[in-house]
Amino acid sequence: MLKVGIVGCGTIGTILSRAITEHPTDIELVSVFDRHIGYSEKLTSTLACTPAIEDVPQMAEHVDIIVECASISAVPEVARTSLINGCSVMIMSVGALSNTHLKNELINLAEKNNAKIHIPSGAIIGIDGIKSAKIAGINKITLRTKKHPGSLKGASYTKEKGINLDAINKETMIFKGTAREATDAFPANINVATTLALASGIENFNVEIYANPELRRNVHEITVEGGFGKFEVLVENVASPANPKTSYLAALSAITTLEQMTNPIQIGT
């Protein structure tokens, strides 16, 4: 039985908690935590079972893996505490790992304490192909992300650049830069750039972000070229009804990652 703790009781944390408790599997939800205690209490009151409400240090003593579903700012504490205690961690706010120093620190802690860092594929597909293509050498990656202006609100980048998202009435490119720059500019919206960078080993690939008021789905267009050949991926994600900044597929990828850890058959790279 895989014992799981969840940190962050928002959109993804709620979907994941319900998936674990409502469908009998070899996964047990032991505890949850949110810095807003009311969120934790509200979530546990709606579940088929009643997990404990524990802070991260307590949780790390009782579970096999902690799933971070909180925010980029929560990743350092959650991941460090988990790994120091020999507890594996799944990071949903993967944009935090665009910080090379933090990434290397966490890798060292995982190795030292015989734990693992799990990064789900999130809101995109094709990660298995990129990992395989990396062996032959990747020459070029391009990511184009297109979202409704409403889901891009709140980013400091738009304020700094004087971009009025409410005034956009047609598809408009509002950002062009590297994967790391994209994550810094839109920390709540572009986790996919960091996931691609980690899978490919390339951090300076081109990222373009578009605001399109006609879109009802989050769109990611990925092109990869290298010694293996070329492939293109188009993903049109349904946004979570509870949070337009979160793609439903991202939550589903977290569920699948946990299931894969308990499955005797491993499919894909």
Q: Is the pLDDT of residue 24 over 80?
A: no
Segment 250-263, tens digit of pLDDT: 999 999 999 999 99
CATH architecture label of 127-244: 2-Layer Sandwich (3.30)
Question: Mean pLDDT across the stretch 106-113?
Answer: 99
The confidence score (pLDDT) of residue 143 equals: 98
In this prediction, residue 148 carries a pLDDT of 93
Q: Give the active site residue among 23, 36, 148, 220.
A: 220
pLDDT at 256: 95
162 Cβ contact list (under 8 Å, min separation 6): none
Full-model pTM = 0.94
Is the pLDDT at 233 greater than 90, yes or no?
Answer: yes
Q: What is the pLDDT of residue 40?
A: 96
**Could you give the CA distance from residue 258 to residue 26 in angstroms, rounded to a whole number?**
10
Q: Give residue 70's pLDDT band: very low, low, confident or very high (50, 70, 90).
A: very high
Percent of the chain residues topping a pLDDT of 90:
87
Check: CB of residue 209 under 8 Å from CB of residue 98: no
pLDDT digits (tens, 9 = 90+) for 74-92: 999 999 999 999 999 999 9
Return the domain boundaries, the chain: 2-119, 127-244
Q: Is 23 helix (H, G, I), strand (E, B) or coil?
A: coil
Rounded mean pLDDT of 147-163?
92
> What pLDDT is stored for residue 103 in this prediction?
97
Annotated binding site: 123, 191
Mean pLDDT throughout 184-213? Answer: 94
Once rounded to an integer, what is the mean pLDDT over residues 231-237? 96
Phi-psi bin for 102: left (phi > 0), alpha (psi -120 to 50), beta?
Answer: alpha
CATH 3.40.50.720 is right for the domain spanning 2-119: yes
pLDDT tops 80 at residue 240? no
3-state secondary structure 135-159: HHCEEEEEEEEEECHHHHCCCHHHH
Binding-site residues from annotation for NAD(+): 123, 191
Indicate the pLDDT class of residue 245, thresholds 50, 70 and 90. confident
Structure tokens at 201: 């080993």
Active site (annotated) includes residue 101: no
The pLDDT of residue 177: 96
CA 31, 37, 39, 43 dihedral sign is: positive
Q: Give the position of tokens 């990656």.
A: 141
